[in-house]
Each structure stands twice: as C-alpha cells, then as structure tokens.
C-alpha cells in the first residue's frame, strides 16, 4: 500500500460517521444560495460534511460558520474550509449573532427499538415522530437571529410539516405560507421552509 492509498483509507474512515451530501443537502443549498447576501452572517446547524456551508459561502461570498455535535463532522467541515464548532444546536452563540441559520435536521421517524447508538443514527433519526431535534431547534433558534433574520429549515412530510409550523408559531416564529423549494420522492416530499421571528426589530 502506498502513501496515497493509506491517506485515502484514513479519509474514508473519518467520513464513515459523517452524513454524506444527498438530495436533501442539495435542496437546502439551492434554497439558501438564492437568498443569502454577501453581507449576511450565516450559521449552518448540523453542518455534517460541510457541503451546504461550503456551497453557500462559495456562491454568495457570505461568511458561513458551522456547528455539529459529531466531532468527525466538525473535522470534515473544517477540511472544506468551514469554521466549525462542536456544539448542541445554537447553544454557544450570542443573541442576535446571525442573519441566516440553515438546518437539515435528522427527520426520519424511527421507532426506539431499532435505534442504534452511533453518529450516523443520530444524523438520520428524528425519533418516533421525526421531530426529536427539530422541536428543540425551533425552541432555541429565535434567540440567535438578528432583526430581519431568517431560517431555512428542511423537513419532510414524514416529519409532519404542519406540526413543524405549529411548533414554530408557538415560539413566536413566522413560517412563509409556501415552501421555498421542494422535491418529491416515492414515500415523502422534502420542503425547505423560510422562518422568521415575528416583530423582531433592532
């Protein structure tokens, strides 16, 4: 085995616990790229491989940072040039820090009896109703939004889009009536919702 082969193997092992970009990642990136300005301060929660953050930064020139609980994801995103901190959702960030927050959360409903304790499971499983991570995110994200800030949140029909809207409203968040973009698959429809804080002014 030569040095290049060894490096490739180590990289593959490092990414084994990191969610690889898929259709949902591309949909979120597509929605954000058309709506992020160069001057925006942007956070991607659950940055994963860094694919979305990197694409948004390159396409818009905005400053994008990431957060993720998974240390392997933090390393992967940093490898793409995304400043990333290991964090639970938005916990370490100051009030009003961001103009845009993006999130492609774990959204697949998963019965407790089939869940595993590993990073890939955490990246995919939304718990029994698909909203185990979505709900705490909606409870917390308003705090870190600047006046006029917005959230781009990807959810699935499997997650219960109306339940997501209701949780947002319960936290003083306004959800645009129509998704920014969507994609249909055999068993679900993915949508990107635009969310803002009602009546938040400077």
> What does the pLDDT profile of the chain (202 residues) look like in tens digits?
444 444 344 444 445 678 888 899 999 999 999 999 999 999 999 999 999 999 999 999 999 999 999 999 999 999 999 999 999 999 999 999 999 999 999 887 777 655 556 555 666 666 788 899 999 999 999 999 999 999 999 999 999 999 999 999 999 999 999 999 999 988 889 999 999 997 665 5
Domain containing residue 48: CATH number = 3.40.50.150
Residue 202 included in any domain = no
Residue 175 included in any domain = yes
Q: Which residue has the tokens 């940072």?
A: 65
Entry field: residues in the chain: 202
d(CA 56, CA 29): 6
Q: How many domains does the chain have?
A: 1
Q: Give the pLDDT score at 8.
A: 41
Sign of CA pseudo-dihedral 183, 164, 89, 171: positive
Residue 28 included in any domain = yes
User: Domain range holding 69?
Assistant: 3-197
DSSP label at residue 113? G
Closest CA to 55 of 66, 68, 69: 66
Q: Give the pLDDT score at 7.
A: 36
CB 100 within 8 A of CB 152: yes
Residue 60 included in any domain = yes
d(CA 191, CA 202): 30
Residue 95 included in any domain = yes
């Amino acid at each position: 085995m030569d040095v290049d082969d060894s490096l490739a193997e180590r990289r593959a092992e490092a990414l084994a616990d990191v969610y690889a970009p898929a259709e949902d990642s591309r949909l979120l990136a597509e929605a954000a790229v058309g709506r992020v300005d160069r001057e925006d301060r942007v956070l991607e929660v659950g940055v994963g491989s860094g694919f979305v953050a990197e694409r948004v930064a390159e396409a818009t020139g905005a400053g994008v940072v990431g957060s993720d609980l998974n240390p392997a994801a933090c390393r992967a995103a940093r490898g793409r040039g995304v400043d990333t901190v290991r964090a639970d959702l938005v916990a370490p960030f100051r009030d009003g820090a961001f103009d845009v927050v993006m999130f492609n959360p774990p959204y697949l409903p998963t019965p407790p009896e089939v869940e595993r304790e590993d990073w890939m499971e955490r990246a995919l499983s939304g718990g029994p109703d698909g909203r185990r991570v979505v709900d705490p995110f909606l409870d917390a994200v308003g705090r870190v939004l600047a006046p006029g800030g917005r959230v781009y949140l990807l959810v699935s029909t499997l997650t219960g889009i109306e339940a997501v809207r209701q949780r947002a409203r319960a936290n003083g968040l306004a959800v645009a009536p129509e998704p920014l973009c969507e994609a249909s698959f055999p068993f679900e429809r993915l949508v990107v919702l635009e969310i803002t804080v009602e009546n938040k002014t400077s």
